[in-house]
Chains A and B, each alone.
Chain A
Amino acid sequence: MKFAENNRISHRQLYRQTVLAFLAPFLLCLTGSGGLQGRAGVAGVLAASGILSVYVILLLRMVPWYTDLVKVLGPFQGRAAGLFFLSYVMLTGAYLLNLIAELVPFALVPGVSGLWIALLTAGACSFGTGKGMQRRGRMAEVSGGILLGGIFLMMALCLGQSRGVYFREMAAADFEGKEILASCFKALCAFSGISLLPFMLKDVEKRGKAGKPLVLSIFTLGGILTGILLLLPAVLGWRRLKAEKYPVLPLLAGADLPGNVLARFDVLWMGFLVYSLLFSLGSLFHYGRQIAERAHLGSGRWWLPAGVFLLSAAGADGAGPGEYYGIYLSRIFLPGVLLLQIYMVLRGRNKRKKKAPAVCAAVLLAGVFLSGCGSVEPEKRMYPLALGVDGSVGEFTVTYGMPDLPQATGQDKEEEGGNVPVLTFRGNDFQEIEKEYDRSQEKYLDISHIQALLLGNALTENGGWEEFLNWLKAEPFMGENVYLFRTEDPQAVLELDTGGSSMGAYLTGLLENRLPGQQKEGVTLRQVYHRWYQDGTLMDLPEIILKDGGIEVRLFDG
């Protein structure tokens, strides 16, 4: 028995599938340095959305010629066309796999091999790709709404971090007409995967009316991309945006959740993006199989994911698809697909007259256990809550202000007034200091809970701060809402007894634990980054002065 509408996907499923498949790749890859940025980027996206909305209507009419490429184009041309489309599927798949293999070890699971992540991802995404369009439609329908809601929520939470001053920097930046054209072309290249739609459209109910959800999905994607293009400079600043490779990653590194339930939720943001990437890759495998079957090139069940993984693994040394994917899209695929479609239309007019799962599961399972080497138990970590840096280039001193665990957890309140745990390391650079820590300390250094950074006056005056910021930039787990201070002797400040709380919590409390309107405005890491990218200088920081065995914080006026 078959449910009456079971062999077709609905318009809602088509809409969500299109949005879900393109969303994360667009947000991650199009917004970075060399991508779509600023007013030119926004204009480019809007122009591309307009062009694409006309193009999808044309694609709707091409569906019959995609049903059997060999039948329409002949045995040789049909298979050649199939290989052309498969080249896109494989290169895009390898590009996305490389992206996941790069981002996951960097931002989510430090220490894990990117190759394992790629293998796991390829295995998981190839699961069930041969079970028909309906499965992908239902997946998109059931998860698309949650994902879109999550993205919109995250964007709304970002609004609270945006600054009018930063936004005006973007508005003031000049741009030329050809930048709009270039942005439009980049957006069209990124959207070129939409040319695979006819392979899907034959399984859509009321196909003749499918244009509306398709146009809507293009404008939804264009709208979200436009929103992010406007949000990014308002949160990160214009110059920083131009320098960041993946600016959407730190977008939520400084956002607070109302109610203080979670300290940070940029990990959830990453989770949404990773899900969308997995869906994109799964869709590519699914369409790859459809193309292979319609071009009489086998089922593609095994060789397609294997080929994509091998292509991605071959590029692990830096010569991967990321290096040439942009050129491939703009110079080969986009013009190629347009020519092919014109040829198909002309020719079409003239002519118009499935023990493998167990092995897969074993590989996936092995991947999970073999790859999981980046975790450290919470009791085996050191959680500095404040970090003091001093010195000059070639001779840095780093002091970690550790929490007194019994005091911090309230489990030993009677023992107050003991020694404040502080660790100090010296080295030529910060990498050497890290190594020095690794050589002498048993616990893993978890800097994700640092609440205050104390820069020595010497460091701020001799330019050593730039090297410090460069080191911090490579630490994805450092929140960008951390407060910065300057002081004469960071180590001495961190060694002070603050009466139970750590120096990090003390300084944060000093700024935040006031009634609304009376809160003092400190300087956050995000603001420091902004000024640094803007004009290469260090902004004025609140100063901590040691006075009568205690401290006094002098905030910068203005």
Chain B
Amino acid sequence: MRITQGAFSFLPDLTDEQISKQVAYCLRNNWAVNIEFTDDPHPRNTYWEMWGQPMFDLKDPAGVMYELSECRKVHKGRAYIRLSAFDATAGWESVRLSFITDRPEEEPGFMLVREEGEGRNQRYTTRSYAAEKPMGSRYAV
């Protein structure tokens, strides 16, 4: 399967040139770009690990691309990596763009667990196959 979180998951994986253009778009809007990674891509896992702080006051996408390459050295293949852009403007003060840049070779996906209740009610749990394993060994490299 292919996890479709983020703004561009239905397109072929973005090249570094394409990623850099998206970063440039964020910087033009004065958004701070943050690199995040996780090996628990549950749809409600909001807090991916931060690769350093969001990069404020950056002028050139090269700074983000350098940090992305450093993050990849450690996590590529073992985790999902995404870029998130934060807008501090009044009335927003939240993420304005978020997309996955790297994903593991194999994405085992999720199991839907049902608990049958009364009146045909069901309680659903989405369980990640990968997250059954201990942290750090969830995806083959």
| Chains A and B form a bound pair | no
